Every structure is written in C-alpha cells, then in structure tokens.
Structure 1
C-alpha cells in the first residue's frame, strides 16, 4: 500500500501537466488546485479501500487522463444548461419558460450596456423603471394601470398587504391552492397581514357564501384560479362576474389571482379554454395578478394590472422596494410583450406558445428524425422506436389536458443499461439530459427539443454509453 501511495503524483506536478490543456489552464488556479486535491484524495481512499491494488492502475498517463476528466467535471458551473426531453413545456424544475430570441437579446443588452432603467429620456430627469412595460400591458390587457414585481407570489403578497392588512379577505375554500415549493395561499395571505375568511365547501361554493361572509372588517373579495388542479363531479364555483356583482353591491374591491395567467385565447388552438387576463378585467376585476414565466412565456415576474388607484397604492407600498423587478427581467419582459402585439407572431416566436401549439404531424416527423439518428448511434444497445404519447404544458397550467405527441422510446437490449441506470448516467453527461421512463423504456419527447438539439441528444447518449462515470 505504501508503494502505491508513493506512485501518486504531487499536486504541483499534476497542475503542471494540466497547464498544457488550454481549456483547463484558463480556469482559476485556486479552483484547479482544489479539484486536483479532491481527485488525489479519492485515489488515496481507493488505495486504502483496496479498490486500487496494482501499480498499473496508477500509470502516469492513465492517472493524468482520469484527473483531467475529474477536474473538467468539477469545474463545470453548478447552474448550467440541461436538455429537456420530458415533453413538459413549462418545466418548473428546469427553468420554466424559454425566452424568445428578441427577449434574450434585450436581456443581454441590459446586462452589457448602460440603460434608461430609471431615466426619463424625454426630460433628462429620473424616471420610473415600471414605465417600460406599463403602456404595453395596458394596451394588451385593457387595464387602467400596471405594475411588475419579481414573481406572482410577490404580486399576491404586496396586493393583499396594500388592500387588506389587518382586515378580512373572503375566498372560497376550494381555491386555497398550494403552489410550487409547498407555498400556500393561506400562508402568503398570513404574511401579508390579511385575515383569511374561508367560505363554501371544498367542492361547492355559492354567491350567498360570499355575501353572508361580508362584514364591517371585510376588505377584499378574492378569486384564485385553480390552474394547477381541477375539482370535478358535484361542484359549484362562483364566476368572476358574480363575485364582481357582490363586490359592487357591498362596495368591496375584487381581486383575481390568475396564477399561470395568459394573454392568449387557446380555445381555437386545440387546448381547453383558460381564462385570460383580458377577460378577467372585462368581467370587472379591480386587480389581477399573474406570472410572467409560465403560459405567457416570458421571464420570471409577477404582473399586477387593474384600476389606477389600486395600482398606485401598491406602487407606493414600501414593500415594493423589496420585491421590485430587475433590469434584465424588465428588458426581457418588454420584448416578450411586444411580440403579443401580433398574436400570430407571438405563437411563432414565443417558445412556450410554439411548443404548446406544435402540430402533431410536425412532432411525428421530428420524432422519426431523432429515431433514425439514434438507431445508428445506439445500434445493438437499444431498440429505438417512434411511438404515440402525450406531453404536458406544465407550470401548473392545463393540469388535466394531454398534448398529443410522438415519443422516441429506447428499450434496452441485452447488456445495455436499464432505463433507470440510463437516467442516472444522463444526469452526469455534459450537458445533462432529462427524459422520462414509462413501460420499461426511456422516453424522449421532441416537443421540448429544438431542431438543433437532435444531434446533441445522440452525442449525450454516446457519452452515457462510453463513460458512465463522466
């Protein structure tokens, strides 16, 4: 064992060898040194555990190649690209919506150059960062005014804190939703200082439930769109128009949290009709909140639209400073919203909309192309077939609706890694690839793969086959 330890190179010797690798030499030396130390400590542990018992296993060329791979993997950014082959368009764990090219360019410009973030070019004086998106949001939604914060939970929080702190907010028991990360409407409401007043039953709520709950301490009537689940069967829900009528009769504002919210009428696009922001305002809602990075297909943001007096009160709330939107997000959001001025262009260029509405025939064609590529690269390892299947919108939207697609199924032949083992290997490739497993096959859905990613999928699968420890 001592002889094996003596064969291990010094840290400085390894660093000198790595200096010949241009890609590694460009890395910070402190990072390189830490990675080399970790690699050598791993070899020492292998010697002690009896996993390395022969001097041939520590040959300089072999150790050098292993160390370079180890360091290269250790030096990867922790936050990095992932290939999404799950078919879930708005995948919360994989970054939700992809940005349109114009939004990416706008965000890059905002990062690289000075801007008029809070500078009024007409007067040369200090301006408002919100001015960059207010007019276009008013035009697209019909709202009197608008404000944008950093996400929809923040939008709900600051709106409730502004309108109902210390007072009651009436909401149907069947709408007390839980969103990603176990955050729940009642908890957000509690943080705002508002007092929750539940009405109705889980499956049935009537107009009289709201009307009977109103008292001298009531500040707001709240409707929460259950975008991430459905209650079916013996049900009854109060429409927004009915709730607005109660609010007008009692002199109370009405708020709707549309959650994943959208500006597109999907009824004619092969998807179930979902309430739009425009419809909610037309039905009389005083304030509406929704996300920017779900069905809208923009960056993470919480959009608040509605009556001018309410929006102005929210804008003046000191909490607004804590939840305000940053310059990159503003730039990307404005660029995304501008696409919606031409709905057809938005459906083509906003990736979320394009993927959601992709024609089944086009997806089948893409699946066959991918299958043909993989049949060559995985020959003898996996049976490759294009099979019918379903995608999902994700992001808490259209929870019960499947999108028809064609999947590429990889079924292992004798000796090939199982679907579960393949999944684990693909998490360690560069870039990682995420698919799904059904019926003893590893599935790839072309809906969430760009055309230029088909060859990359083959390359990544090749990595998983050649070097499972990569």
Structure 2
C-alpha cells in the first residue's frame, strides 16, 4: 500500500498535465489546485479501501483521463442553469419565473454600463430609482402611487412597520398563512412592530367580526389572499369591497397582500378566479402588495401600489433603504411591465404567462417532437413514448389545480436502471435535467422545456443512461 501511495503525482505535476486543456483555461489556478487535491484525496481513499491494488491503475496517462473530467465537473459554478422538465412553471427551487428576452437584455445593459439609476436626466440632479417603474405600475394597476422593494415579504413588513407599528392590525384567522421558507404572516407582523388582532374562525369570518374588533388602537385592516391553499366546505370570508367600505367608515387603511399577484385573467383556462392587481385596486384596497416574479413573470421583487398618501409615507420609512431593489431588478421589471402595456404581446413574450396559457394541442405536438428527439439520440438504450397528464402553475398560485399537458416518458432498456436512478444521475449532468417520476417512470413535462432545449435534453439523457450502466 505504501508503494502505491508513492506513485501518486504531486499537485504541481497534475497542474502541468492539465495546463493545455481548453475547458480549464478560464479557471483560476487556486481553484484547480483545490480540485486536484480533492482528486488525490479520493485516490488515497481508494488505495486504503483496496479499490486500487496495482500500479497500472496509477499510471499518469490513466490518471489524466480521469482527472480532466473530474476537474471540469468540479469547477462548474455552484449557481448555474438547469433544464426544468417538471412541468411546474413557477418553480421556487429552480428560480421561479424566466425573464422575457427583452428583460434579460435590459439586465445585461444595466450590468455592463453606467446608468441613470438615481439621476434625473431632465435636471441633471439626483433622482429616484423608483421613478423608472412607478408610472408603468400606476398605469397598469390604476393605483395613485407605487414602490418596489426586494420581495413581497419585505413589502408586507415595510407597509406594516410604516402604517401600524405599535398598534393593532385586524386580520381574519383563516388568512394567517405560511409562505415559502416557513415564513408566516404573524411572524412578519411581529417583526414590523404591529400587533396582530385575529378575528373570526378558521373557516368563517363575518364583517361584524372586523367591526367589533375596531378600537382606538386599531391602525389598519389586513386581507391576505389565500393563494397557496384553499379552505372548502362551510366557509365565509369578507369581500374586499365590504372591507373597504368598513375601512372608510372608520378612517382605517385596508391593506391587501395578494402574494403571487398578476395582471392577467386566467379564468378561461378553467382555473379558479385569482384576483388581478387591477381589480384589487378598483375594489377599494388602499395598499396592495404582491410579487414581481411568480405569476407576473418578472424579477424577484415586492411591489407596493395604492393611494398616494400611504405610499408617500412608506417611501419615507428609513427601513425602505434596507430592502430596496438594485439596478438589475429595476431594469428587468421595467422591461416586463412595458410588455404588459400590450396584453397580447405579454402573453406571447413573457415566458411564465406563455407557459401557463400554452394550448394542450400544441403541447401534444411539441411532446411528440421531443419524444422523437430522445428516441433517435438514445436509440436502443431507452423506450420512449408520450402520455397526457397535468402541469402545475407553482409559486403558491392556483393550488391543487392542474393544467393539461403532455409527458415524454423515458424507460431505460437496461432493467437495472430504475427511474429514481436516472433522476438522480441527471442531477450530475451538464446541464442538470430536473424531471419527475410518474408511476415509476421518469418523465419530461414538455410545458417547461423550451424548443431550443429539446436536442440538448435528449443528449443529456443519453449520457445519463450510459452513465448509469458504468
């Protein structure tokens, strides 16, 4: 064993051996050194565990053949592209919404050059970063004023801290939701300094419950849209117009947290009616908060729209600086909002909206094309077919409601390769392909795979199946 250890190359020798590999030219030497050390550590482990037992296994030509692909995989960025074949359009774990092409160009321009982020080009003096999107938000929603922060949880926090710190906010017990990452509305309210005043029962809340709870310490009425769950059966909740009328009667602002807000009407898809931001403003909410990504299809952001008297107060809150958005978010959001000024263009060019609205007949046609590509490239190593199924919107929107879709099913011909093995192997590919398992078969949902990803997906699948057999 000691003689085998002595045959291992030094780090410097290994560095010299990979110096001319084109795929590694851009990699910092320090990162290559770390990768080589890890590679050598694994060789030492294999020697100790008798996986390497003779000198021929440690010949340098043999080692370099293993080292190069190991390093290429090792130096891949941790944060990188994946192919989403799950059928979940707004997949939180996979980055939620894909930006429209015009938005990605805007982000590149914002990153690569100086910009008028906080300069008023009309006066040459200091300007507001929010001015770049406020007019568009007001035009699209009908609100008097608008503000954008880094996510919707921050938007809710900022609104409550501004309008209700040290005072009570009345909310229905059935609306005390938990959002992604185990964040709960009561906890956000606590951090804002506002005191939660629960009214009603889990399944039924009446207008009189709100009115009876109003006192001299009441600061606002809060309505939280249950976008990520449903209570069905014997239920009752107060409508926004009713709550707005009550707020007006007692001179209290009505705040609505829409969560995954949207500007599009998806009722034609058979989905439950999700209120648009426009309707929420029209129905009398004084302040509305919602996400810029998710169903809206823009960058991660928390958007606040509403009456000018309240938005102006929120803008002046020092906490606003701690949760403000950067130039890249602003660039992407402005480009996305401009698309919404032409609803038909938004439906075509905002990927999230286009995927939600995708026609099932077209999905079946695209599924057949993807299946054909996979079958041709994988050959006899896999059996491929298609089947009708359902996709999900995701992102907490339209819970438990499916969208008709087509799945491409891939069954490796080798009996020893299970669907789970293939799924796990695809996590290691470049790029990783994230699919799903239905009835013990690995599946690709064509709804969330772009046309220009078909051939790449097929090639990656072929390599993954081959890798499972090694």
TM-score (norm 2): 0.98
- Give the whole-Å Cα distance in 2 for the aligned partners of 1:122 and 1:220: 38
Indicate the SS of the match to 2:461.
helix
Find the aligned partners of 1:412 and 1:35 in 2 and give their Cα distance: 32
Once the two structures are superposed, the pairs formed by residues 102-121 of structure 1 within 5 Å of their partners are 102-121=102-121
For residues 369-407 of structure 1, what are the alpha-carbon distances to aligned partners after superposition, in whole Å with 9 as ceiling and x for unaligned? 111111223333332110010000000000021000010
Alignment map for 1:102-141 (pairs within 5 Å): 102-141=102-141
Do residues 401 (structure 1) and 401 (structure 2) align? yes
**Distance of 1:56 and 1:240 partners within structure 2:** 76
1:235-250 pair list within 5 angstroms: 235-250=235-250
TM-superposed CA distance for 1:412, in Å, is 3.6
Q: Hey, what does 1:208 align to over in structure 2?
A: 208
Q: Deviations over 1:152-197 (max 9, x none)?
A: 0000000000000010000011111101000000000000000000
- Corresponding residue of 1:28: 28
Structure 2 unmatched runs, 5+: none
Cα displacement (A) at 1:9: 1.3
Answer yes or no: is 1:380 the counterpart of 2:380. Answer: yes
CA distance in 1, matches of 2:388, 2:129: 47
Structure 2 residue aligned with 1:61: 61
User: Aligned pairs, how many?
Assistant: 470
Q: In the TM superposition, what whole-angstrom CA distance separates every residue of 1:350-387 from its partner, at most 9, and x where no partner exists?
A: 00000000000110011111111112233333321100
CA contact (8 A) 1:381 1:415 kept: no
CA distance in structure 2 between the partners assigned to 1:445 and 1:280 by the alignment: 33
Match in the other structure for 1:49? 49
Contact persistence 2:417–2:469 (CA under 8 A): no
CA offset digits 1:280-301 (Å, max 9, x no partner): 1111100000000011000000
Moved over 4 A (4+): none
Pair 1:320-2:308 in alignment: no
Q: Is 1:425 aligned with 2:425?
A: yes
Partners of 2:449 and 2:414 in 1: CA distance: 28
Matched residue, 1:306 = 306
- Please give the alpha-carbon distance, in whole angstroms, between the structure 1 residues aligned to 2:273 and 2:391: 18
CA RMSD after TM alignment:
1.2
Distance, in Å, in 1 between the alignment partners of 2:389 and 2:268 is 22
Query: What's the CA shift for 1:269?
Result: 4.5
Q: How does 1:352-363 map to 2 (within 5 A)?
A: 352-363=352-363
Q: Is the contact made by 1:428 and 1:469 (CA closer than 8 Å) also made in structure 2?
A: no
Is 2:374–2:459's contact at 8 Å kept on the other side of the alignment? Answer: no
Cα displacement (A) at 1:468: 4.7
Partner of 1:434: 434
In 2, the alpha carbon distance for the partners of 1:172 and 1:318 equals 29
Extract unaligned runs of 5+ from structure 1: none
The match for 2:265 is 265
Task: Mark the CA change 1:170 to 1:287 in structure 2 (over 3 Å): closer, same or farther.
Answer: same
TM-score (norm 1): 0.98
d(CA) in 1 for partners of 2:186 and 2:129? 31
Partner of 1:174: 174
